[in-house]
Amino acid sequence: MSKHLFSTILGAVATVFAVNAASAQPADIEPKVQVCSACHGANGMPLDPKTMPIIWGQTEYYIFKQLLDYRTGARENPIMSGIAKTLQQQDLRPIGKYFAAKTWPAKQAAANNPAPPKMENCMICHQAHLEGGQPAPRLAGLSYEYLIAQMNAFANDTRTNNGDMPAIMKALSAGEREAIARYAAGL
């Protein structure tokens, strides 16, 4: 099975879960998300923002899908794959909702330069100011180091849990990716 077909199927599975969960009562997930703050931060600022993304205020569907992808292996990371597998499937959607409802932490990076070339392409999906929206995540304010690592991972096929992002990243030069990551980090 091709990776793209695989991710399409996973996307369909995710949609089914989304529909099923919509009518369910929100579980009491507070105790289940205690562990997350050890790395993602008790106030929304991660312990090491260079490697650990901000999840407070990230888009709901995106958080849910990443947890699902880490569980299935569609996205791999030595830390998060293990953590996601300890969660229960029915809790993933409430966890997405829980963190999405929190406030994105105050801006850390210095103010910005003019938008680099090809930035407008990103806003088609990542929305104005790269603040995210279904199904694309917020990029604004994630660290430069985290952003460039994920952008390069899409470009070199080590992150393959989306059908569009690898081609979009391959179409940019390394320098263009760096300029965009630096810009997004400062938004």
Reading the block at residue 1, the tokens are: 């099975």
Q: Supply angle C-alpha 66, 70, 74, rounded to 5.
A: 90
CA gap 104, 127 in Å, rounded: 16
Choose which of 63, 140, 155, 179 interacts with ligand HEC (CB under 6 A).
63
Residue 115 in the binding site for ligand HEC (CB under 6 A): no
Give min distance, CB of 167 to ligand HEC, in A. 9
Lay out the site mask for ligand HEC across 67-86 (x = CB under 6 A, - = otherwise).
Answer: x---------x-xx--x---
Tell me if residue 136 falls in helix, strand or coil.
Answer: strand
**Token pair 């059908």 in the structure block, residue:** 163
Lay out the site mask for ligand HEC across 29-48 (x = CB under 6 A, - = otherwise).
Answer: ----x-xx-xxx--------
Residue 65 in the binding site for ligand HEC (CB under 6 A): yes
Reading the block at residue 164, the tokens are: 């569009």
Reading the block at residue 92, the tokens are: 């993933």
Half-sphere exposure of 19 (CA within 13 A, CB side): 5
Residue 14 in the binding site for ligand HEC (CB under 6 A): no
Give min distance, CB of 117 to ligand HEC, in A. 10
Give min distance, CB of 1 to ligand HEC, in A. 18
Amino acid 176 reads E
Give min distance, CB of 123 to ligand HEC, in A. 8
**What is the enclosing helix (H) or strand (E) of 92?**
helix 92-100
CA gap 103, 62 in Å, rounded: 16
Residue 179 in the binding site for ligand HEC (CB under 6 A): no
* Site residues for ligand HEC per CB under 6 A: 33, 35-36, 38-40, 51-53, 55, 58, 63, 65-67, 77, 79-80, 83, 87, 95, 118, 121-122, 124-126, 135-137, 139, 142, 147, 150-151, 161-162, 164-165, 168, 180
